Structure formats: C-alpha cells, structure tokens
A = this chain, B = another copy of it.
Amino acid sequence: MAHVQTLLVRFEDVDYARVVFFPRLLEYCHRVFEDFFPAQLGVSYAEMVAQRKIGFPVVSSKADFRFPFRFGDECRIAMEVLRMGEASVTNRFRLFRGGALAAEIEIVVACVDVDAFRARPIPDDVRRGLEAHRV
C-alpha cells in the first residue's frame, strides 16, 4: 500500500513560466521519502542518518512529466517500493493533481554508511517498512 502525502505548491517553487521548476518536484519526492521514516517506521530521518549513520544517496532516477504543477496546487504524492535488493531500493512516486496523474518518478537509492559512504545492507526495521509498501 502506498505511503501518501500532500504538498502545497509554494509561491517560490515556480519559475518565470509560473510552473514548478522540475528539480523542485524531485525535492518534493525526497521530502516524502524523508517523511516516510517517522510516518511508517516510527523513526525520524535525522535519527536514521545523523545517529544511526545510515543514508540513502540516489543512484539513478527517471521521470515523466505529463502536465505541470502551478502555484497553489495541491500535489498528492503516492510512494511505493518497486524493487528491493540487499543494499538498494527502487521507489516509485506518482504525483497527482486532483485525480489526474501529473508525473511519475522512479528513484533508485543505495543504502550506505554515511561516514564511509560505502554500501551496507538495508537494516531490518527499514526493510520491513519498505516491504509493507511494495507494489
């Protein structure tokens, strides 16, 4: 089952064309990923990264944008896990305005030790939480 969150498109999120500047939509996805931790695992992203020293840098991404978001829009984001390996996860983010799919973004992250920046197995509590949101 997807983890769902709604973000408001801010005054400063749009560019001269008055639509959301596309890197901001990737920032939105990261925010949803950050909030997944307290919402679904009961641990803040800061605790995971700064205390447990476990980070999730992006290895690859792909995105399809069907129509743009504009200032004041509600951007509803549904995050699901597509694939999970020993030390990597592929998350899919679908971005909706009203009932319509505006964008679909897949992001592969590695699981690393933050200090060494070296791959490490996904810890069990995170794995269980991600498993529960698998497609």
What is the bound-complex CA distance between A114 and B65, given in angstroms?
17
A contacts with B: majority SS = mixed
> How many A residues face the partner with a CB closer than 8 A?
40
User: Contacts A22-B26, A23-B26, A49-B11 hold; do A64 and B60 have CB atoms under 8 A apart?
Assistant: yes
What copy number does this chain have within its complex?
4
Residues in B whose Cβ lies below 8 Å from that of A44: 72
Find out whether the CB atom of A62 lies under 8 angstroms from the CB atom of B59.
no
Residues in B whose Cβ lies below 8 Å from that of A21: 11-12, 30
Residues in B whose Cβ lies below 8 Å from that of A11: 15-17, 21, 30, 34, 45-46, 49
What is the bound-complex CA distance between A27 and B27, given in angstroms?
11
Residues in B whose Cβ lies below 8 Å from that of A45: 11, 72
Interface residues of A (CB under 8 A from B): 9-12, 14-19, 21-24, 26-27, 30-31, 34, 44-47, 49-50, 55, 57-65, 68, 71-72, 114, 117
